[in-house]
Amino acid sequence: MPLQLSLIPSGSKLESSADGLAIDVSASETRTFLCRLVVTEQIEQESLDVSIWGSADGQSFGKRPLLKIPQQFYCGTTKMVLDISVRTEVKFLRAKWELNRWGRVAPTPMFVAALDLTEIPPMSRDLGSVQVVSEVQS
């Protein structure tokens, strides 16, 4: 049965930048996940940046994310694939979100969002034969 992970639980009200909890993914067979960010509420003049970070021990998550989801300004769903099959040291994942607000209205940003990961079949590593064709004109 595929793993179902919630890095940002459904209906979470995000009002400040933060890190999510570390989630153990060592039981994953494919180490490949469909990531689904759903924003259900937001206010005007704000942005949400969500990234996914990996760790070997659940404590140290390094300096670079494994995946950065495109910046969000409005309600909607964004889907991306996270493939950590070649990153065998990664045993834990967590989400990090950063909120930004601008304009003359209330200074506190607010999004209601969820980030769910569903384990999917592994990505194909077979590139087959690649043939480069070059045409020279005289």
Mean pLDDT in residue range 90-109: 89
Domain annotation covers residue 125: no
Mean pLDDT in residue range 28-51: 95
How many domains is the chain built from? 1
Distance CA 109, CA 14 (A): 8
pTM above 0.85, yes or no: yes
Domain annotation covers residue 30: yes
Mean pLDDT in residue range 16-35: 96
Structural domain including 64 reads: 4-117
Distance CA 1, CA 44 (A): 40
Cα dist. 75→2, 25, 68, 72, 81 in Å?
A: 27, 28, 18, 8, 20
Domain annotation covers residue 130: no
The type of residue at 120 is: I
Place of tokens 């989801």: 69
Mean pLDDT in residue range 6-11: 97
Domain annotation covers residue 36: yes
